[in-house]
Chain A
Amino acid sequence: MKERLGRVEHSGRGTEANRGECREAAAAAALTFRGLGLRSAPAALPGLPGDRATSRSDLHRGSLERVRRAMDGADLAGKILSTWLTLVLGLILLPSAFGVSLGISEIYMKILVKTLEWATIRIEKGTPKESVLKNSASVGIIQRDESPMEKGLSGLRGRDFELSDVFYFSKKGLEAIVEDEVTQRFSSEELVSWNLLTRTNINFQYISLRLTMVWVLGVLVRYCVLLPLRVTLAFIGISLLVIGTTLVGQLPDSSLKNWLSELVHLTCCRICVRSLSGTIHYHNKQYRPQKGGICVANHTSPIDVLILTTDGCYAMVGQVHGGLMGIIQRAMVKACPHVWFERSEMKDRHLVTKRLKEHIADKKKLPILIFPEGTCINNTSVMMFKKGSFEIGGTIHPVAIKYNPQFGDAFWNSSKYNMVSYLLRMMTSWAIVCDVWYMPPMTREEGEDAVQFANRVKSAIAVQGGLTELPWDGGLKRGKVKDTFKEEQQKNYSKMIVGNGSLNSESD
């Protein structure tokens, strides 16, 4: 009986469809066993004389009691697990397969918003006026005089060098040391008001008991209720993706295969998004990227990919990784043609451009998804778009992604956290809330080179998403600025002190 019970549970876990039946079977089996157990002890020892019979049956009954209790415990655990999984299946997995929402996350978000508003009011009432350090997170900490070089050097064009020129440059230099636009973009945005997460707590002072209680409750809810649920979902989502795409990949090329692969991708992405409690608003769906185009977006974290693929299928571009990512990549490419490069191939820009050109030339293939910044930025600004993606030709479909930092910070600081701890942080935040704006397609105009085109697209995305626009390269996260920028500044200064006529043409 025990073995049969074990086997039923085991097979039940293997396929989702049997889970409901598994629960009934487990309950039935347990009852039967209990019935048999009660009857078996006296039945096994019929007609023995009093004392020895009692002691032996006592022994039997004692051990059977223990076994029965263990079975009860296992049975209870089995019941909980199966109820849990049925709930997960019914409330989350099935609706995501059909793209339908049951409204549970909306209720959760409403409660969350109300709680955070209450917390903000309490904090504002609690802190004394002087210690409220900032009312806007994006105002700089030093008073800046943004006059251009000419005005700052208090001269007209063509005037001569003065000893006092050093003042302007040293001031600008020291200002950059105290605060520069770029370095702050590689760390998480500071919040205006605390959102009850330990990690965003910078200047917290004890305000009131109630606030602390709410915070403790929040910690419990996030780590004990939400985290296991989210991890389960993520696990299911990823396994489904790998299994599904491998299965679909076995089929011959046909429209059925494409339809199935789309279904598998969409379902699994929706499951994964729910595993992060993601609430995404898509705007202007009529501009969703079409086949044969290139989709370009600002980059904040690897989750961007998930967010975009929930609403449409894309062909992804990237390096081949090892480990779990590698398995996912290899499985996905069987179902629909993504463009994965070996590390050595990435260095050869012509090869990359050629392959991408071939991909978009085929109008039946899915649009390519590219992040031209090349690295993760903290979602307060858009940095330089590398011109490589804009040299391929074809239609560019810009997309702006803006996260709401109040519910959870999505920025991946890759120097501080590795992928696993990043994902854990994501899963223990309140939620991931973001807006996605699809924008009208753009093409390169006559007489516009790739760099100008890239800047045009960058401005459009920055304006739409409400982000600052910076001309700096995201590569500054790891490396030094290129010498060409310094030469530009030197050129400007030289023009001033020497005059127009006598410049060297050694530039560039």
Chain B
Amino acid sequence: MGSSGSHATVIPDGDSIRRETGFSQASLLRLYHRFRALDRNKKGYLSRMDLQQIGALAVNPLGDRIIDSFFPDGSQRVDFSGFVRVLAHFRPVDEEEAGIRDPKQPEPLNSRMNKLRFAFQLYDLDRDGKISRHEMLQVLRLMVGVQVTEEQLESIADRTVQEADEDGDGAVSFLEFTKSLEKMNIEQKMSIRILK
């Protein structure tokens, strides 16, 4: 993006990021250029406002939750490695890679489990490992704005939690979440293929 005239851009910690996320060198370069383009004031990191200025993200019903996922633990800045780490969840699953994986290594960020974990934490506002009815209500409210009444929203939240909740504690744990979505083709629905 843009004619910056830089050949041989050196990405800070490029090698370790590549190992951790599994992106190819070309993809990583593209993402780095994108990171620099989003960082309008050349601070070296992104703030919430930088992400909110992306029009298509700001109108997304889950936009705020997605932006929050870049800022874990209450931080206000995300550097390039944090940026890529989130995006790595959406890397398409390479069949070969899944087969030859060394079981002693940590799971790659784009495995089915990790994709599900990413989706789970979009709902789990306080990161306690459970989606309570209250949290479900709040996220639903984010997604529909003022278009739906409180009663309708509560009935939807109640129904959803009841369907997924197996041990009857009134909240959806991560395991219950994965079980309710076991038939879904997560790999295809949560993948973004970078062409070049």
Chains A and B bind each other: yes
Residues on A facing B (Cβ under 8 Å):
133-134, 139-143, 160-184, 187-188, 190, 198-205, 409, 415, 472, 476, 479-481, 485-491, 493-494, 497-498, 502-504, 506-507
Name the one of B7, B123, B145 contacting A201, with C-beta atoms under 8 angstroms: B7
Name the one of A161, A171, A506 contacting B147, with C-beta atoms under 8 angstroms: A506
Q: When the two chains form their complex, are residues A171 and B5 in contact, meaning their CB atoms are under 8 A apart?
A: no
B158 CB → nearest A CB, Å: 11
Q: When the two chains form their complex, are residues A190 and B147 in contact, meaning their CB atoms are under 8 A apart?
A: no
Q: When the two chains form their complex, are residues A486 and B87 in contact, meaning their CB atoms are under 8 A apart?
A: no
Q: When the two chains form their complex, are residues B55 and A182 in contact, meaning their CB atoms are under 8 A apart?
A: yes
A365 CB → nearest B CB, Å: 38
Interface residues on B, range: 35 or more
Contacts of A174 in B (CB 8 A): 66, 86-87, 90, 192
Residues on B facing A (Cβ under 8 Å):
1-7, 26, 30-31, 34, 37-38, 40, 51-63, 66, 86-87, 90, 118-119, 122-123, 140, 143-149, 152, 156, 159-160, 164, 172, 177, 180-181, 184, 186, 189-196
Q: When the two chains form their complex, are residues B3 and A489 in contact, meaning their CB atoms are under 8 A apart?
A: no
Q: When the two chains form their complex, are residues B59 and A489 in contact, meaning their CB atoms are under 8 A apart?
A: yes
Q: When the two chains form their complex, are residues A498 and B55 in contact, meaning their CB atoms are under 8 A apart?
A: no
Q: When the two chains form their complex, are residues A187 and B1 in contact, meaning their CB atoms are under 8 A apart?
A: yes
Q: When the two chains form their complex, are residues A171 and B143 in contact, meaning their CB atoms are under 8 A apart?
A: no
Contacts of A491 in B (CB 8 A): 145, 147
Name the one of B2, B122, B146 contacting A170, with C-beta atoms under 8 angstroms: B122
Q: When the two chains form their complex, are residues B7 and A203 in contact, meaning their CB atoms are under 8 A apart?
A: yes
Contacts of B146 in A (CB 8 A): 487, 490, 504, 506-507
Closest 7 CB pairs of A and B: A187-B2, A494-B147, A176-B56, A490-B145, A169-B62, A173-B66, A143-B193
Q: When the two chains form their complex, are residues A180 and B56 in contact, meaning their CB atoms are under 8 A apart?
A: yes
A171 CB → nearest B CB, Å: 6
Contacts of A198 in B (CB 8 A): 5
Name the one of A162, A205, A415, A504 contacting B7, with C-beta atoms under 8 angstroms: A205
Q: A182-B56, A187-B3, A485-B55 are in contact. List 18 more A-B contacts (CB 8 A).
A: A160-B159, A161-B140, A163-B164, A163-B172, A166-B119, A168-B189, A171-B189, A171-B191, A176-B60, A183-B54, A190-B1, A201-B7, A202-B6, A480-B53, A481-B53, A490-B61, A493-B143, A506-B147
